[in-house]
Structure 1
Amino acid sequence: MTGDAVLDQVFWALSDSTRRSVIEHLTRGPATVSDLAQPHAMSLPGFMKHLKVLEDAGLLVRAKEGRSVRCELAPRALEDAAMWLAHYEKFWTAQLDALGRYLYHQEEVQAWKPARSTTGPRSGSSAATPSPRKKSGGPGRTRRR
């Protein structure tokens, strides 16, 4: 299987909240299938399908111990996915840094001019315009208790 196909399987496996919950549980250590299935409101055969998807993606390993099946996290597939994400994080960080430098340069080259008011014509006078009078009178009496 190619690297892209493996990543496709990993990301598809992680696209489901039940499977992400299983991975979260396994980060605390190995667990039995019944322990993993307990918090999920689904049939055991339905839950086993989720484990199969995780196993096919290389995210967990199952081992039978007596009558129970124990699951353990297989971190290699997660490491590959994390490396893929880190590569694109570097790419987008570089792009955003370049945009920031460009905007900073533009700000330095073109002096900032405040926006003109569009509320109405401006008068030629530099004096302040008085506020209109209030229609009501001053404050009334307060009640005493």
Structure 2
Amino acid sequence: MRNVVRFDEIEFWVDQNIIYCDFNADLLESYQKVDVEEIFYNGISILSNGKYLPILINLEDISSANAIKIFKFLSNSTIVKEIVLSKIFLVRSVGVKVVLSLYNLVGDPVVPIKVCNDFNLAVKYCHKDYSAFNTIS
């Protein structure tokens, strides 16, 4: 059984050196950016035990508009960037992937950000990033 940390409508767990995150579809109706950042900081801190791990953020089950909002929150979050190795966003459509990828080009991410619409590819990217980081360290 996996160790799940749940803060309101957001679940976090670690499997094979990847922090996974799932959202409830109604999350953004009642949360501010500060609330989401604090929840992510707490969830990641508890599960990472001080190690830098990639985080795979599953946005497949929420609307495109909410996926874009969450991406903007988290891709620019100075709090989250300090505690993760990379951020991988899993989206349900190619259209959302293109929009988020374009937004990512305009931004200035300190940690690598990848947008995928294929779960296996997202996991593969996480493992590659983790392996590269630990080879260098």
Please indicate, yes or no, whether the TM-score normalized by the shorter chain is above 0.5. no
Give me the TM-score of the superposition, normalised by structure 2: 0.28
Q: Which structure has greater strand proportion?
A: 2
Give me the TM-score of the superposition, normalised by structure 1: 0.27
| Structure whose alpha-carbon radius of gyration is higher | 1
